Structure 1
Amino acid sequence: MDKAFKVYIIGSVASGKTTLAKKISESSGIPYYELDNVIWKKHEDGDIKRTAEERDEIFNNIVNKDSWIIEDVCRSCFKDGLKKADLIIVLDIPAFYRKKNILLRWIKQNLGLEKSDYKPTIKMLRLMYKWCNEYDDKKDQFMKKIDPYMDKVKIMKTYPKYDII
């Protein structure tokens, strides 16, 4: 991709955010960022939550670049990403498919067939389902956050084909 371009991908746990971000990054050469890694610092004994100041500094360094692809669940602390994005992709995948993918991912991670940034425990499996349900419960609030930017929003109700840009 020759010109600067900024993509913000939003969706629930297991909606395909990271996969889509990686695919767009591979085809465009634009770096992608998982905003979970802006919130949390990886540590061998478990992730450590960054301070708001650390988080904001890292996030601002990302969104002030010429091009980026970021993926998140639409946290309020990252609202400037919505403003600066050229394209906002909302992965509005039905809960049934997301919940199925959570379980399949957890099984694959425990069998060593899929890499994981976290330890795939029963506790983590339960948290994933909880976050999936919370996302659905807060969907109206989330849609209000992106309402001012609808001129640059693409809502996808099925898993993406990865060739949308």
Structure 2
Amino acid sequence: MVNIVWKRLTTGDVTRTEQEGDEYLSSILTSKNWIIEGVHHKWVYPCFQIADLILFLVTNLSTRRFRIIKRFLKQKIGIERANYKPTLKILKDLYNYNTMFEYHSKPEIIDILSPYKNKLTILKSNTVITDLYK
């Protein structure tokens, strides 16, 4: 798996410039097969037009809040790896980002995806994802 937004270095993560990210994404999109995943939704917009299938996972707000706290605790005790130092500030930022996603970003993304309804599937849980492949 490659990361378009971040350069993962032993000294820490560094954000790619917008130009670097665009060039990297363009090289991926010229491949025969690709899967793009990300919460950095603005950079994935060019992918929607050429994608064969778009899956948008939208679990409910309380489920995501629970998972953020659970992941933080797992990272703090060392049973889950993190690409950052899990701090209370990061926990608070993720919690706030999640709330902003619910009330601002999610409606915006749904609107942006409306021209692609013929290839869009909105999934409300990871159970549904599993069921797609049975």
Query: Do both share a fold (TM > 0.5)?
Result: yes
Partner SS state of residue 47, structure 1: strand
Which deviations, in whole Å up to 9, do the C-alpha atoms of 1:18-59 show, x marking residues without a partner? xxxxxxxxxxxxxx55xxx31122234432221111010111
Q: Which residue of 2 aligns with 1:10?
A: none
* Aligned with residue 151 of structure 1, among 97, 118, 122: 118
C-alpha separation in 2, matches of 1:70 and 1:118? 22
TM-score w.r.t. the length of structure 1 is: 0.72
Q: Which residue of 2 aligns with 1:141?
A: 108
TM-score w.r.t. the length of structure 2 is: 0.87
C-alpha separation in 2, matches of 1:141 and 1:154? 16
Partner SS state of residue 69, structure 1: coil
C-alpha separation in 2, matches of 1:122 and 1:68? 35
Q: Between Structure 1 and Structure 2, which shows a larger proportion of strand residues?
A: 1
- The residue type paired with residue 136 of structure 1 is E
Whether the 8 Å CA contact 1:74–1:142 is kept in 2: the answer is: no
After superposition, the CA RMSD in angstroms is 1.7
User: Runs of 5+ in structure 1 lacking a partner?
Assistant: 1-31
Q: Between Structure 1 and Structure 2, which shows a larger proportion of helix residues?
A: 2
Q: Which residue of 1 aligns with 2:130?
A: 162
The structure that has the greater radius of gyration is 2
Whether the 8 Å CA contact 1:102–1:128 is kept in 2: the answer is: yes
Q: Which residue of 2 aligns with 1:125?
A: 91
Q: Which residue of 2 aligns with 1:40?
A: 6
- Ranges of 4+ aligned residues in structure 1 off by more than 3 Å: 43-46
Larger RCO (CA under 8 A, 6+ residues apart): 1
Alpha-carbon shift at residue 77 of structure 1 (Å): 2.5
Q: Which residue of 2 aligns with 1:16?
A: none
Which deviations, in whole Å up to 9, do the C-alpha atoms of 1:106-144 show, x marking residues without a partner? 111111111222221112111111211111122221111
Q: How many residues align?
A: 131
Q: What's the % identity of the aligned pairs? A: 32
User: Runs of 5+ in structure 2 lacking a partner?
Assistant: none
